[in-house]
Every structure is written in C-alpha cells, then in structure tokens.
Structure 1
Amino acid sequence: MVSPIVASFTEWGFCMGNEVVDKLKKKGFMDIQLHQIKLGLSEGLPVEIYAKSEFDWFQMEEIRKGLKAKIDASLYARSEIPYEKMRQIRKGLQDGMNLMPYVDWNAGVLKEFRLAKLKDIDLSAYIKQGYDAQQLGEIRKALEQGITLEPYIDKEYRAASIAEIRKGLENGVDVSLYAKKMYSWRKMRELRLGLENQLDVSKYSGKFYDWEQMREIRLGLKAGVDVDSFSSVKYSAKEMHKKRLDLLLQTHVNGQAFYKQMEASVSNILSAEHSIEVHNFPVDTAKEKGLHNDNNVKLRLDKEHLKLDLRANNMEAYVSAEIPGGIIPRDVLMELLNENRVKKGISDKAMDCLCNGEYGQGPVLIAQGKIPQKGEDGWYEYFFRTDVQKKPKVLEDGSADYKDIEWFEVVKEGQKIAYYHEAKEGTDGYDVFGTIIKGRKGAEKRVLKGKGFRLEEDKKTYTAMFNGMIRLEDEELSVINHVELDEINMTTGNIFFDGSIHIRGNVSSGMTVKATGDIMIDGNVEMATIETDGSVMLKKGMNASGNGMVKAGKDVFSRFFDATTVEAGGNIEVDKCLNSQLYAKGMITANRIFAGGIASSESGFHLNNVGNHAGLKTVLKVQTDETARNDYHNILFNLRDVTRQLEVLKKNHTELMEKHTAEERSEMELFQKIEHAVFLKQKQLDKMKELALKLKKVIDRQKLVSVVISGNAYEGTVVEIGSGRWEAKDQYNITIKQQDSEISVYNN
C-alpha cells in the first residue's frame, strides 16, 4: 500500500522536509530506501509504485530504473521477487523480451537465458536438463563462438570444468583426452595447457596424480628437463617442485652468466698462452718443506705437494703445486685425480704441461665438464606468404603503386598451409666426475589458433578447410571465405558475400557490393556502393559523381576518389582526392592531391598539396570521439550518484554496527544485506573510476592530433579542430594543431 505521506510529498518533487523524513522513518523506511524515493522524485517518476516499506532499497532501485527506462515496471514490482530477478526482468524488457514467464528460474539462469537470447541462442534445452547458471554461462560462451560442446559435457561437471573444455575446443586441442569425470577442473586445466603447448601429456595424465603434481611435470616438460626422474606418483608436489628446480639449475649450470664463463674457459684451455688467476702458496711453507728452489732447478713433486680444487658445480678441476714449475709424474697426477673421483674431461695438454713442469704460478685447469646444450625450439613452417602488406608501396615521387600490389594470398581446400616441426632434444653434458647432465629439450610452440583450417591426425600438419583467403595476424591463422569475380554489372546483379571478394574488372553504376571480409577491385568503380566489415582496396579508384559510397569497418585504399563518400573505421589512404566527403576514425592520408570537399578524421591528416590555385574550398575537420566524450560525462554524472548511494549504505552499516553486538549482527538479515550492498557498490564505484580514467586518456590523446600538410596549402583550405578554425593563405609545408583551445601553425 502506498504511504499517504508519500502521496503528499509526491507533489513537492525532490524537496523532502525533515518532518516527512521523520514520519517515513517511523513507518520503517531506512535512509537508503528514502534515497531511492528522492531519486525517483528528482527524475519526475511516479514513485508511489515502489515507495512501500515492503520493498528493500535494491528492489526500489530496479523498479525506479525500469520507470526511468519507460518500460512497464509494474510487471515485476512485487515484493516477493528478489531484486536480482527484478534486474534481469528489467533488462529483458529493455531489450524487448518478457522474462516474467520464467520468473521461477533463479536470477543467474535468467541472466544467461537473456544474454543468450540477445545472440539468437536458445538455452532452454540445457536449462531443462538442470544446468546451473555458471554452467550455462560457459555453454553460452561456446555457442557464441560457434562451438558445440557435445558430446564432451555433462551436468555433473562443474562450470570450471566446462570452461576448460570450451577453452580447449577454442584452441583446437583434442579435449577428449581430458574431458573425463575422473579429472577435476584443475587437472583438466593442466592437461589443456600441456596440449596447447604440444607437450606429451601422457607423462602426467594418470588418475592418481593430483593437479599440483601435474603442474610440476607440465612445467618440467615445458622447460625441457628430464621429467622421468621425478614424475613418479610417490613424490609429493613439493618434492617434484624441488627436483624440477634442481634439474633446471643443473642444466642451466648456474645460469647464463656461467655459460659465458665456461665458454671462456674452453677457449683458454685450448690456447697456448693459457693463463689463469694466480693462487700462491706461502713461500715460508715451501722453505719449511725443503722445496724452495733458488737455482731454478726443476724439482720432482709428490702428491702431498699438490692440491686439487673443484669449482663451478664440479664442472672444473684445478691442480695447484707448492712450487711453480715442479715436475709432476703422470702417475702422481692420475692418483690425485682418482682420489678426487675426477675422470671426465681431463685435458691431455694440461697433463703434459704439469708433467713437464711447463706451468707458472697459480692453479691449472686440468679437467673440465661439458656444458649441456638446449635443443632447437619447435617452429612452424608456412606454405604461403606471411609478409603480404595490405597497403600500396609508396614510390619515389610520393605516389603509391596500386598496380602491382599483392593484397592477399588464396589457398585451396585441403591445401597444406602449415607444418609444425617439433622441438629437438638437447645434447647431454657431464661434470668432471662423469655425472651426466641432461640437456634441456627445446621449447614447443603453442597449437595454432584461428579458423578455417584443420589439424590433421599427425598433430603437425594444418590444411585449409575450404577455398579462401589466408592470413596470419598476431600469431593467429585464418582462412576466410573468398570469391573471385570478373566484374559487377546489371547482368551479374548485386553481390552479398560472407567473406572476402576480389573483383578483377569494373563495378558499374547502381550496383552494390557487400562483404564481411576484405574487398579488392582491380578495375574502375562508378556510382556504386561498396560496403564491408573489413578493408577496401580500389586499384584504379572511384568516380561516383556524388552518388556512390565506400564504407569499411577497417581501412580504405584507393588510387583516387572523385565526388565519392567514404567512411572508414580505420585509416583512409588515397593518391588523389577531389570533391569528396571522407570520414575516418583513423588517419587520412593523401599522397599527391587533396582538393575540394570535406574530410573528417579522429586521428589527424597527412596530406600533400591541399586545395588548388583557384581557391577551391577544402575543409579538414579533426573530430573528437563524441562517444568517448559522452560516455566520460555520463560516468562522471553516475559516479556522483553511486558515491552518494555508497555513503548512505555506509552510514546505515555504521549505525547497525554501533547498535548491535557482533553476535546479533551475524543473525541479522538486514545487516548482511547492507554489508553485501556496501561491497557491491564499492566494486561498482572502482570499476567506474577505472573506466573513467581510460576514457579520459582517449580524450586527452585526441587533443594531440594534428594536420600535417607537405607542399601547398592553398587559399580556400579550412582547418577545424574542436571549436577552433583556421584558414590558409597560400602557405607551404605546415603543421596545424590545437594548443590551449587555440589553433597554432608551425613550419615543418
């Protein structure tokens, strides 16, 4: 029932007097509920629909938002409907769907059903089977990508397990190897990551491993170490971790710095001028032993006059003698080495030097281990050109070469497009004891991601699924539907194609060419419409006589435009542009002439010779991203509202903290609601602040945009940046930009 007090202050608008507030509080209204009523009044809404004490403030907020969005909020303005369900019903109504027939579903299921419906996906079959909201979320994400999860999923799987199956299918791995009930989602993740990195997951797919053991074995395989030495299930994950790190240290031989040191030592031992850091015995010690030699007579040294040092993780053995240049019998040296278990990497040259007394002061490197070598990393061999540039080559005179441009490469169904060469095993090394140090296997590459191809049974060969255009961008391989046509005219009719189009001839007036991929036209384009989500390349250009347009989601390239309307989500690049209307989110570039018409860009201009001698009006506008600017101002406005709501919630939270003991609060549903609300509002506030900061950076970056004119800026040229306007007076080689709300002009 509507409070008569509310009815009385509805006429007052936002101004609620203290008397009214006190009366509402006495009727059980809390500050946060009053806040929603005040907001509704300030927005001119009929608050009587929700100004009832039986609604909590979250329910009030959802009803208020529905009224504000001009939907029929009375459909869900029922106190028995939790606010989470109200929210999904409200959002559904705003999107043109009525979810009230499904009000018995929980809020999470309603949300996933609504989001799926927006993409023309029906989850009702999965809902009937009993999948919960989190599971439905993963199923929805898969279906949005065109991925069918059957036969791999089951409602007994947790949502996290279904997510691992979804991610595996998205990345092209054989999920049947881990989509099993014996694996938890964490085990599935370890197997998926191994498969994506082309590792031998059979090394750790046993059901008795826990996920942490799996992780250690996977990381060992990825690092190329010998996992067989620690992969037994008898080792705990902690023990595996230690053994893996020990192997890494061993194969790295104390890191890259030591590799360099060892390589230097190898060079030195092979050098006739081999010298080493001095290590002196005290002279007094030699005298006491009767070994001091003033006449430079070479003495015969026994084992007790020698010392053997092991260094660098037992990779080097050094012999030091108390008397430099003393003769050391070979059998004495061998006995010394055997006693210290040095048996590998012994240098014959060093042995000869020591036996003949041909050495100076300091230790002599007598044995050296072999550094293990890491194997060659895995790599992909591609059977198509990966360096095709999607833009014309600029010639010496500044113009662009549209004639010989290669814009894409086409492959045929079943054609081999890539082959994976597996990583090679490393070469083992050893220390001076003869202990083998396993060489690390090279790193495997991840499985190729993308679409339009299949991975053959050998798990190495990639083939095209159909005839199409192929491209490799950011390590993602795609084969896209592609059609080649001779020309487009009244005989052929208009073209609408899901993929890329290559037209070898002309496009006649009145025709329409639409595609989802790229469009390349070799011939002339007349008064036609060219539209695509991708990029457009016009090798000869377009003369639309004011009745044709090009619209691209990405970039547009053309030899010339004459009386043509062009819109691009990316850049526009043209050699000559006459009397045309251009708009680009990216940069607009004219390599030779830009005269007449209007051009707008959010990223700036780089033009040669703007206008003409006759003073043809040519307008260049630097546009700001109004969407970003509007979003920024809306967020700032909403920030104030959310901040106020948070302050009210915190006030109520503090009051309850002061009035009730911890034990009382733990059983108080109202307190738990407020505490949860504080958490959610704070989280919302933090996200809004983060988004506001990102938008502010976009807006600030736009302030740095400039217009660069190389060559003539003829009279009749007008540049508009923000609210500023500048007109050229036959100037040459200039840059125009806005500083402190005023336009400034600089010489290039």
Structure 2
Amino acid sequence: MAETGMELLDELSEYAGLDSFNENALEKELELCGKLGVDVEKLKALKFNALQLAEIRKGIVDKIDYKKYFNPKYAWTEMEELRLEMTQGIDMTKYRNEGFDCLQISQIRQGLAAGIDVSQYAKKEYLADQMREIRHGLLKKPPVPVIFFQDPAFDSMQMREIRKGLEAGIDISGYTSVDIPYMKMRAIRESAEDGLFFDAVQIGKYNAAILDQMHRAYIEKIDISRYVKNHFDAEQLEEIRIGLKEGLPIDNYITDDMRGDAIKEIRIGLENGVDVAQYADVSYGWMQMYEMRLGLEHQIDIVPYAKPLYHADQMREIRLGIEEGLDISKFSTMMYTAKDMRRIREAMLSGTYKAFVEDDSTAKTVFDRTGGTKDSKVLLDSMIANRDLYISFTSDKLLCWLKLPLRSDGLEYTEDVLLAFLFKCNVRKGVDKQEIKKMLANLNHSEKYLVAAGKEAVDGQDGYYEYFFDTENEKEPVILEDGTADLTNIDSLVQVHVGDKIALYHKATKGQDGYNVFGEVKTAKNGKEIPILKGEGFMILNDRVTYVAKWTGALTIKDGNIKIEKILVLPEVKITDKRINFDGVVYVKGDVHSGSEITATSNVIIGGHMESSEIKSGGDVIIKGGATCPIRGGITAKGNVTAKFFEGVTIEGKDISANFFINCKITAKGYIRTYGRAGILYGGHCHSTYGIEVASVGNKNGAKTIINLGVDSALLNEYSELKKSISREEADYKSLAKERDRLQEIGAVDRQIMQWKVKINAAVGVKESKLKELRKKQFYYEEEIKKGSNAQAVVTEVAYAGTVFVIDGIVLRLDNDRKTYDKMIFMSDSKKENIIVLG
C-alpha cells in the first residue's frame, strides 16, 4: 500500500527527492504551506508563485515574522532578502533608506554576516556585482588588497580578474587598468599563472583572443610566433595551432588572406584525409570550401561545381544532385539561382520532371510506306479512329501489344500499315519488326502480340564499406538453461595492429537509363557515394579506398566513427602492482585482486573476477566473472557497466546490467537490468533515472530493498538552484537595462555620464551572455527531468515483500509477495500522486 508516514519518508528522503523543484512546484508549495497552518485559499487568491511561497514557508520554519513580506508585489528575491535579514538578526533599514536596491543590500548584508568591513564597498556608485567582487576579496584569509580594484570605473568582470590575480600571487600591475577589457585581463592572468608573461608591448598590441592563442600554444609547446608576427588574427591562429598540434602540413595550403573559417575547412579536410588542394584557394569563401570538402568526404567528383562564380548555396544543390545520382546538367548552369536549382533537383527526385528523347531516325514519312493505296489508307484511318481496339500498353508503358480483330470489310493488315499505325500512336522505341512479320504470317485475330518493348532502368549500387572486424562486437549474452546469462561472448574489445586493414570502400556504380515504347527516358539512379570514415587511429591509403590502422590498439565503432585507442593488456592485477592509470583501454585477462586500483580514460574489460577494488572508467566496464566488494571498492564509469554478478558493490554508470545484484548501492543514469528469468536484485539501494527491468526484486527473507526511480534529488536541487540563479540574473538584468534606457534618453551630457553609460552597457552585455549560458544549462536539466518522468519498474517474475519503491517521490512498500506470469509494471499515475501496478 502507498505510505505517507513521516518515519518512512524521513528514512527515504535521500532517495525520494521530496524537496525538489519540478513541474508541480506550485502545488507542492501550497500543500507544504497548508501543513504549516497557512490559509491555502488566501495564498491562491493572492496569486503567489512557487518561489514566493517557498520564502513564506521558509519564514515560518525559521520562526520569523514572515508577514513583513507577505505581499505578492514583492519579488521572491526581496522576500528572500527580508527573510535572511530577520533570520540573521541584521537590520538593513539604514541602507534601504539610503536608496540601495535589493541586490546591493544582499551584498552588504552578506558582508555584515561574515564580519567584514562593508564600508569599503557599501557605496551607491558600486553595482551589486562590483560589491560582490570586493566582498569576495575581503573574505579571503588573509584578505586581498582590494584597493587595486576598488575604482568604480572597473566593471565587475575586471574586478574579478584583478582579484583572482592577487589571489594567485602574480604581478597584476601589467593589466590593472580600466582601459583593458576583462577578456584581455583574463588572458594575461591565466597566462601568467601558467608561466607565460606578456610584456607591455604585447599587451598593448594584441587583443585578448590573440593573447589567448599565444597562451594555448605555450601550454601545448607549439611555436606560432611567426604567424603572430605576420599579423594572422585570432581565428586564423586557432586553426593553425590546432593543425600544427595534430602534425598536419597546413602551411602547404594556407595564405594570410584566408579567413579563419577557411583555414578551418582546410584543417578539417586534412584531418579527414581529403585532397584539400582542390579547394585551398583564396578565391573561394569558407562556405564554398565547406561544400567542396563535404563533396570530397562523400567521395564524389567536385569538379562540376568547383568554380568560384558559384555561390555556396548553388554548390550545395549541385553537390546534392551528384550525390543523388541526378543529371545535374539540367540545373547546374549559373543562370539558375540556388532556389531554382533546388526546385529542379527536387522535381527530378520526385519524378515530376520529364525529359523526352526523340529518335530522329523514326521521324520520316511512313505514310508513303502504306503503298499509297486507297484500301491501306482506309484501314490505317480506321485503326487510328478505333485505336483502343488494336493497341494496349503494360508495365508502365514498357510493353506494347497489338490485337488485330477480323475485319468485316475484307481489308488485310500489312507490315507497312502496322508500322504506320504504331508511329501514329507515338510508339517510337523497341519496335520488333520480325515479330510483326511472324504475327502476320500466323495471325490469330483473338490473340495479343508483343510488338514493341522498352528497356527497364537499372539503378546503380550505392557505395559501401567492407569491414575487416566485427562491427556487431557488443553481442547479447546467452541465456543458459538455469535462467542465468553467460557473458563470455560479450566483448567490446577488438584488437588491431599497426598496418592492419580495417575497411575497404567499394565505390558506387552508375545506373543505366531505360526507356519506354514512346521513347521517354526512364532515368536510372546512380549509386550514391557515402562519406569517408571518420575517427582516430587510422589512415586512408593513396588508393582512397583502403583504411589501415596507424597504431596497435583497441578498435571501437560508435555512430559511424571508428576509434583506435591504445591498449594495456595485463594477465591479472594484484595489490602489489602499481596503481594503474592508463590513457586508453585496459584489458585484464584474468582477475583483479582485492585492493587494486584501475583508472582508464576508455573501457575497462576484466576477463575474470574483480574483488574489493576501485575501477574508474571513461568508457564502459565489462567484468565477465562478476564483482564482489565485501570490504571496500566500487565502480565508476561514464559508460555502461556489465558483469556476471555484483555483490556489495557501489556502482555508478549509464546502463547497469548483471545476472544478479546483492546488497549493492547503484546509481544509473540510464537503466538497471538483470538477465534471464533468474535475474534478481535484492538488498541495498538503487537509483535509476529511466527505470529497472528485472526478473525478481527483493528476496524470500524480506531483505530490505529500496528502488528509487526518476530524476534524483541532487539533480532536481541543482535545477532548483539554477532556476533561482536565472531569476536573480534576470532581475539584475532588468535593473541594468532600465538604467541603460534611462541614460539613453538623457543622451551625452558630460564625460561622467558617458563613462557611466559605457559601464552600464558593458554590464548589460555581460548579463546577457551569462543568461544565455544559464538557459543552455537549464535546457539540459529539463531534458533529463523529462526523460526521467516516465521511469518505471518492470518485474517479470516476482516482487517480494520488503521491497520499497520510490517513484517521483511517492513511496510504496510491499507487505506481500507479488507474482506474475507475464510482467508487472510499477509506475506513478498521471497526476504523480500514487504508485500504480499494472499486470
């Protein structure tokens, strides 16, 4: 039965996420306020939002006079400020009377609460963000000398860079000037922290982006000094730096008058192994280069559109036409705009564009071949007037049939009359004169004769890759007779050696056009070339079709990308071995003994058993012999985690699968699954964002098993804090924008006003960038919450008493065993009020 007892809720609060902000935040806050004795109907009537209600609720819990801000006209940030003032016993009346806004007052209060000298920044000329930077400086132990950035002419971001430089102990004198933008300050500071010091000439000469590229090159130990001296801009420098880092012969193809985007297209082309010489020309813009690079990657002939006079969008239409096997001559002339080209191309694809091919050899006066006799002409005219009695077509006009009924007028059919009749009926292709002669020699008036046949179009074959490794290497486990799964065939490891052939490309073939009996062309589709393989650790030979490994390692393929990573192969791992930290794949053929530690940037594969060890993987973890951690140890993976079994193991990963889980603590960002009809999960706690699929959950002895499904409380709390941050930033932005608009109306009065206007405009720009970044993060959180909203537990055998389900914060404890002959589904109802069981 569904429980609401406070003891159970307290016990499960870590897993249930009951204080989370979600789509039902308003209803939950109303409910919580109601439980604290507030008139819910009054709250509804006053139309408080969820954040305002949260402040009222917190005020009641904090036992302060929340009625001082019990007014829907207060923004929730103002409510929060008043609540915190009362909670901390700080009277901010003085500062309110002096005209400080809510955000400024918050910074002053936080300083007072921390016991610092707020007089150093409690001044009207500071914006709230500037106050914050000075406050952070004063909070340091020991405090940083804020005098270096107390000038209100510095914006908050400039203040931050000076403060961080002081905290890092570097010489900030080179960039402590209001005339240096904060981005340049940041580049100078970060470079100095890494040991690269710019002199006054460099600081004055180069912008922030160029200084940043010089810094990155210094860290990567790449010399870009000659490019800097030759006045390449930051975008150009970035592409050159990346190219040099990857060892690409980029100097052979670039010039100083190419934009950074154009150099990028050359760099990417070199990375992907295409012949960039075909487009590495300053006469092309970067978008034109992009279309030509794509064409080369898709293994087509780009010559038809590699002309500077084509616009990039025209190039695109021609490229697509070539890839689709169309006759591009129909639309590739420069007289057509890209829009016109697209219309013609799409018409050709849909079959609505018809090209007629006339056979001039048949365009001669066949009427003379009737002999010019009166009877022949009468017969021909009669046949034409009643053509449906004589002629018919099948197979989409590929076949033409004649039937010659017995005539009552005694006129006789002749070869010349029949040929003339066919011509009059527009039958121009595939006429079989021999068949007509045979027909006339043995004429059956009730029979149809095939007298003309067209030719079926034969489409070309698309290009394809022949792989020399198992592309389906992630096999499904074999379910044994006892209901457990055998994992010996699960192995995502494909080992290759330097020079091994990994793939061979078979090029597309051209189609052969056909025609119908009217001479209309039945256009065949040419086979499409497909893009070149992308990834790391391999190269294309000069034949442009053979792919070989550049080094020995482990090969993986995902979403069409091939990656060959370095591999460390070990017979086993013992506690006496050094801690393993490897950039690549770690493959242990045998066991990983107790006390071992393995860290890998990619997959970790263990052929034997793992006991009480720490495994950290940047990819998947596969343990064919199972894992037990009775003492210590656990598994953390960015990818999936699979083992024969897990006992007492702490596991974090995406999808987590095994024959059985016993007393484990599991956190899955995807699904938790057991294999076969014997799969069981009992004891411990597990959390899965998307749900679980198990045969049995819990056990006969009533082992306490907590199954928490949906988005976890940590993510929801992060989302809640993010929403608050966005709300604060929006309030700050509105305040700044209002001031900006006011100054706009005043106009350029004096120098001081102009400086203030510049400062406000800069602050508005910073806020806009920050809000954009926060909203992008908000979108990610909302997508994860949406995915987790339909989480459910699927049980195909039995759910034992003692199992506790927590779905969307709703708790269901099983007091009795529940068995099924098919499957049971535990899920929250549509209103997220109860857990229902289907099946």
Same fold (TM over 0.5): yes
C-alpha spacing 1:639/1:552, structure 2 compared with 1 (3 Å): closer
Residues 388-419 of structure 1: CA distance to partner in whole angstroms, max 9, x if unpaired?
A: 22553344654211234444333333222211
Offset of 1:523 from its aligned partner?
A: 1.9
The answer to whether 1:301 aligns with 2:379 is: yes
**Equivalent position of 1:664 in the other structure:** none
The answer to whether 1:187 aligns with 2:288 is: yes
Higher relative contact order (CA 8 A, sep 6+): 2
**Equivalent position of 1:374 in the other structure:** 459
Aligned to 2:528, what secondary structure does the other structure show? coil
2:796 and 2:349 map into 1 onto residues whose CA distance is 58
Which of 211, 232, 235 is 1:131 aligned to?
Answer: 232
Residues 503-549 of structure 1: CA distance to partner in whole angstroms, max 9, x if unpaired?
A: 22222223333322222222222333333212122122123322232
Offset of 1:193 from its aligned partner?
A: 1.4
Offset of 1:554 from its aligned partner?
A: 1.1
Maintained 8 Å contact 1:14/1:42: no
**Equivalent position of 1:549 in the other structure:** 634
Which of 139, 155, 173 is 1:60 aligned to?
Answer: 155
The answer to whether 1:78 aligns with 2:177 is: yes
Offset of 1:378 from its aligned partner?
A: 1.0
**Equivalent position of 2:87 in the other structure:** none
**Equivalent position of 1:637 in the other structure:** 724
The size of the alignment, in residue pairs, is 671
The answer to whether 1:447 aligns with 2:538 is: no
The answer to whether 1:618 aligns with 2:705 is: yes
Residues 53-99 of structure 1: CA distance to partner in whole angstroms, max 9, x if unpaired?
A: 7x3xxx52424655998966986563222355356568889999988
Residues 193-247 of structure 1: CA distance to partner in whole angstroms, max 9, x if unpaired?
A: 111110123444467766566545433422323457887xxx5252898689768
Residues 638-687 of structure 1: CA distance to partner in whole angstroms, max 9, x if unpaired?
A: 433443455456545655776679xxxxxx99989988987886676566
Q: How does 1:267-306 map to 2 (within 5 A)?
A: 300-303=378-381, 306=384
Offset of 1:160 from its aligned partner?
A: 1.5
Maintained 8 Å contact 1:14/1:41: no
The answer to whether 1:522 aligns with 2:612 is: no
Residues 443-491 of structure 1: CA distance to partner in whole angstroms, max 9, x if unpaired?
A: 1111111122221111111122233333332222222333433322367
Q: Which residue identity is paired with 1:578? A: I
Q: Which residue identity is paired with 2:667? A: Y
**Equivalent position of 2:66 in the other structure:** none
2:704 and 2:799 map into 1 onto residues whose CA distance is 11
The answer to whether 1:588 aligns with 2:672 is: yes
Query: Any gaps of 5 or more consecutive residues in structure 2?
Result: 1-91, 102-122, 139-145, 356-373, 749-753
Aligned to 1:109, what secondary structure does the other structure show? helix
Offset of 1:581 from its aligned partner?
A: 3.0
Residues 126-148 of structure 1: CA distance to partner in whole angstroms, max 9, x if unpaired?
A: 54443212223434565787867
Maintained 8 Å contact 2:158/2:182: no
The answer to whether 1:578 aligns with 2:676 is: no
Worse overlay, 10-19 or 537-546 = 10-19
Maintained 8 Å contact 1:393/1:405: no
Worse overlay, 556-565 or 105-114 = 105-114
Q: Which residue identity is paired with 1:473? A: K
Which of 283, 300, 306 is 1:199 aligned to?
Answer: 300
**Equivalent position of 1:605 in the other structure:** 692
**Equivalent position of 1:236 in the other structure:** 334
Maintained 8 Å contact 1:50/1:60: no
The answer to whether 1:37 aligns with 2:122 is: no
Query: Any gaps of 5 or more consecutive residues in structure 1?
Result: 1-9, 20-32, 259-290, 292-296, 662-667
Q: Which residue identity is paired with 1:487? A: E
Offset of 1:384 from its aligned partner?
A: 1.8
**Equivalent position of 1:386 in the other structure:** 471
Q: How does 1:443-522 map to 2 (within 5 A)?
A: 443-489=528-574, 494-522=579-607
C-alpha spacing 1:562/1:96, structure 2 compared with 1 (3 Å): farther
Worse overlay, 93-102 or 576-585 = 93-102
Maintained 8 Å contact 2:100/2:124: no
Q: Which residue identity is paired with 1:465? A: K
1:731 and 1:538 map into 2 onto residues whose CA distance is 32
C-alpha spacing 1:458/1:694, structure 2 compared with 1 (3 Å): same
Aligned to 1:173, what secondary structure does the other structure show? coil
1:634 and 1:90 map into 2 onto residues whose CA distance is 30
Offset of 1:632 from its aligned partner?
A: 2.9
C-alpha spacing 1:317/1:678, structure 2 compared with 1 (3 Å): farther
C-alpha spacing 1:357/1:616, structure 2 compared with 1 (3 Å): closer
Maintained 8 Å contact 1:251/1:372: no
Residues 601-660 of structure 1: CA distance to partner in whole angstroms, max 9, x if unpaired?
A: 333333344444444333434473456435533442343344345545654565577667
1:537 and 1:365 map into 2 onto residues whose CA distance is 66
Q: Percent of pairs identical after alignment?
A: 30
Maintained 8 Å contact 2:592/2:611: yes
Maintained 8 Å contact 1:713/1:729: no
Maintained 8 Å contact 1:545/1:562: yes
2:100 and 2:596 map into 1 onto residues whose CA distance is 70
The answer to whether 1:746 aligns with 2:837 is: yes
Which of 87, 90, 99 is 1:17 aligned to?
Answer: 99
Q: Could you tell me the TM-score, scaled by structure 1's length? A: 0.73
2:588 and 2:755 map into 1 onto residues whose CA distance is 68
Maintained 8 Å contact 2:700/2:800: yes
1:35 and 1:346 map into 2 onto residues whose CA distance is 96
Offset of 1:16 from its aligned partner?
A: 4.0
